[in-house]
Amino acid sequence: MSLDAKIPQGPLAEKWSKHKFNLKLVNPANKRKYDIIIVGTGLAGASAAASLAELGYNVKSFCFQDSPRRAHSIAAQGGINAAKNYQNDGDSVYRLFYDTIKGGDYRAREGNVYRLAEVSVNIIDQCVAQGVPFAREYGGLLDNRSFGGSQVSRTFYARGQTGQQLLLGAYSALNRQIHAGKVKMYTRTEMLDVVVVDGHAKGIVTRNMLTGAIETHAGHAVLLCTGGYSNVFYLSTNAIGSNVTAAWRAHKRGAFFGNPCYTQIHPTCIPVSGDHQSKLTLMSESLRNDGRVWAPKTVELAEQLRKGTLKADQIKEEDRDYFLERKYPSFGNLVPRDVASRNAKEMVEDGRGVGASGFAVFLDFADAIKRLGEETVAAKYGNLFDMYIQITDENPYKQPMRIYPAVHYTMGGLWVDYNLMTTIPGLYALGECNFSDHGANRLGASALMQGLSDGYFVIPYTLGDYLATIGPKKVDTSHPAFEQTKKEVIEHVNKLLALKGTKTVNEYHRELGHIMWEYCGMARTEEGLKKAKGLIQALKADFWKNAIVTGDNEEVNASLERAGRVADFIELGELMVDDALMREESCGGHFRVESQTPDGEAKRDDENFAFVAAWEFKGENQPEVLNKEPLVFESVHLTQRNYA
């Protein structure tokens, strides 16, 4: 199948404006004849639901949590980028575009990324109008900070809770439409399949998580806004409930999966404390603005630190290696996430890791406290320091923090064209659920931007074009495809409920996580990936024989919910390994040990790998087929990233 990304022709800066003009419109009086299904209520889902309902469409919105306000966007801390250039420091739409393309290691589409930078400015205006309490200067205007390797201050923030405030803004817009009767909200409802009629997505099958009722819903289009799949690693900074099921079931119905191996490992997380750990906690990378990353210069000192016979503040200045500042003098502690993460890993492998486990490096605020005073540091990072104290029982005002990378975001996702449509016509993917804008590595404060860009400012235009093309004639749930898909979902649920083996679903999930982290994590080798593939296949076979699923369908059953999600994660894990194995280059978050520069940096192979990998499902236990969408660069010159 040849993939058409539908990127508009013409100069970069005019593509989106021209495209908007060329898209068909739905007559205002006809909009109420269309039903739109939106799964997920994070930034992308809530903003899309509110915006489409405001236009007059009938929206059905679904989330698995008890309230749409709890979607995992709520946990984003640091901020949201926008090319406002309020600081007069040289920012522009083009610069944000350029930074994002370069940061993504030239594995994203120019057209998409430019549009993202272009609409970023509207997002801030929209959120302010909703009453989102962004940080402000004494003069009453919006405050900005530099964030995650950016050399301009373009990040808007709301203390360390930016995601929460933006999501509550989108949730309030959604609530207004629920109140107006334009959105029907289904909470504690999990999507388990897409219904495809004559090649077009026409609805979904859901499970009511309170009663177990398996139900069908029909619509003219289906929007998946279901987030990323970091939890394939078991331990990640995602919420416990975050899962790939909606996207994966859509994939098995014909939606191609783009770049599954592109995962982001975030450098500043609180290290693992033991086997009981259920999730990892990220601390905003804004901490790297004032914190200095270091490890002891020698293995001997590191050993003493690990045993606890020496404390961090007893290490002399000349015995500390501020390795990011040393290796990357112009970016220092603010190098991109993948670079910072890999360097921490190298320190640990070098035997210079700290903390009881040895899997950590220091993030030190002593200099910042000396320079700015404890009060200023507390005003900037107080809530993050408090969080650290809660979890570790250590005081970062007195001792340096211990940090270690953790899986945080997945750049891969369902393949979509410029209109955000997947390879199933009528099925769209927005936000982290799609693969589109971050290439092989996402810059800090860009996830919130993309989620809201897709929901507020892209889908309201592009969806209309499709709806105008298909017309308002309804396909309802009496169509045999709905009954058939529902039957298959019930069979799958029953198959899970029949599992009465010896190992808990959680144990399988943890084991999958170990395999993924070890062989498909921060550094990947051909040998390791091949081994991982075998291990995952064996795990899958064992799961379907020996897993334990308790209870019945007709009740609240967390064990059943979890089992369905883990079964899908296992299948996704294998595809990620296939993708990582195929991509014999290093780029962004994907580091193939075989492909590195003499300095140990990621080495791209633009001649052979400047493409999007879009994987096509061919049936249970069949190898997936690779489709390639070539990446064409007309505006930027491809360079090897260099942050020295």
Partner 1 sequence: MSNGNMNLTLKVWRQKNAQAAGKFVTYKAENISPDMSFLEMLDVVNESLTHKGDEPINFDHDCREGICGMCSLYINGHPHGPKRGITTCQLHMRTFHDGETITIEPWRASAFPIVKDLAVDRSAFDRIQQAGGYVSVNTGGVPDGNAIPIPKVVADEAFNSATCIGCGACVAACKNASAMLFVSAKVTQLGLLPQGQPERYRRVQSMVAQMDEEGFGNCTNTGACEAECPKEIKLTNIARMNNDFLSAKLFRQEVLHEEQHGGA
Residue 65 touches partner 1, criterion: CB under 8 A: yes
Stretch that binds partner 1, among 257-265, 359-367, 483-491, 501-509 (CB under 8 A): 501-509
Q: Are strands 189-197 and 503-504 parallel, antiparallel or unpaired?
A: unpaired
Q: What angle do CA 221, 226, 227 make, to 5 degrees?
A: 140
- x-or-dash string of contact with partner 1, 427-466, rule CB under 8 A: -----------------------------xx--x------
Q: Are strands 427-429 and 221-224 parallel, antiparallel or unpaired?
A: parallel
Give whichever of 334 and 560 is closer to partner 1, judged by the CB atom.
560
Q: How far is CA 147 from the centre of its chain?
A: 18
Binding to partner 1 in span 109-138, by CB under 8 A: 122, 124-131, 133-138
Give whichever of 164 and 627 is closer to partner 1, judged by the CB atom.
164
Of these, 7, 23, 142, 470, which contacts partner 1 (CB under 8 A)? 142
Residue 191 touches partner 1, criterion: CB under 8 A: no
Nearest Cα residue to 193 out of 350, 39, 418, 347? 39
Least Å distance, CB 273 to partner 1, is 4
Residue 526 touches partner 1, criterion: CB under 8 A: no
Residue 66 touches partner 1, criterion: CB under 8 A: yes
Give whichever of 51 and 259 is closer to partner 1, judged by the CB atom.
51
Residues near partner 1 (CB under 8 A), total = 82
Q: Sheet with 200-208: list strands edge to edge.
A: 189-197, 200-208, 214-218
Q: Sheet with 263-269: list strands edge to edge.
A: 263-269, 401-410, 361-364, 292-296, 320-321
Q: Which residue has the tokens 């996430």?
A: 337
Stretch that binds partner 1, among 155-163, 296-304, 423-431, 485-493 (CB under 8 A): 155-163
In angstroms, what CA-CA distances link 264 with 15, 214, 405? Answer: 29, 35, 10
Give whichever of 192 and 239 is closer to partner 1, judged by the CB atom.
239
Give whichever of 71 and 312 is closer to partner 1, judged by the CB atom.
71
Of these, 47, 226, 434, 586, which contacts partner 1 (CB under 8 A)? 47
Q: Is residue 273 classed as helix, strand or coil in its secondary structure?
A: coil
Q: Which two tokens stand for residue 251?
A: 């994939």
Residue 565 touches partner 1, criterion: CB under 8 A: no
Least Å distance, CB 637 to partner 1, is 33
Give whichever of 97 and 171 is closer to partner 1, judged by the CB atom.
171
Determine the Cα–Cα distance for residues 83 and 99; give it in Å rounded to an integer: 11
Least Å distance, CB 53 to partner 1, is 10
User: CB-based burial of residue 469 (10 Å sphere; 0-12 exposed, 13-18 middle, 19+ buried)?
Assistant: exposed
Q: Which residues are catalytic?
A: 337
Of these, 92, 172, 399, 553, which contacts partner 1 (CB under 8 A)? 172
Nearest Cα residue to 396 out of 245, 234, 283, 557? 283
Residue 240 touches partner 1, criterion: CB under 8 A: yes
Residue 210 touches partner 1, criterion: CB under 8 A: yes
Residue 273 touches partner 1, criterion: CB under 8 A: yes
Give whichever of 175 and 635 is closer to partner 1, judged by the CB atom.
175
Give whichever of 82 and 347 is closer to partner 1, judged by the CB atom.
82
Determine the Cα–Cα distance for residues 544 and 537; give it in Å rounded to an integer: 11
Determine the Cα–Cα distance for residues 492 and 194; give it in Å rounded to an integer: 14
Q: Which two tokens stand for residue 491?
A: 């069979």
Residue 476 forms beta bridges with which residues? none
Binding to partner 1 in span 277-306, by CB under 8 A: 277-279, 281-282
Of these, 7, 75, 497, 523, which contacts partner 1 (CB under 8 A)? 75
| C-beta of residue 459 within 8 angstroms of C-beta of residue 52 | yes
Q: Is residue 323 classed as helix, strand or coil in its secondary structure?
A: helix
Determine the Cα–Cα distance for residues 183 and 38; give it in Å rounded to an integer: 10
Residue 422 touches partner 1, criterion: CB under 8 A: no
Binding to partner 1 in span 383-402, by CB under 8 A: 387, 390-391, 393
Rg of the chain (C-alpha set): 24
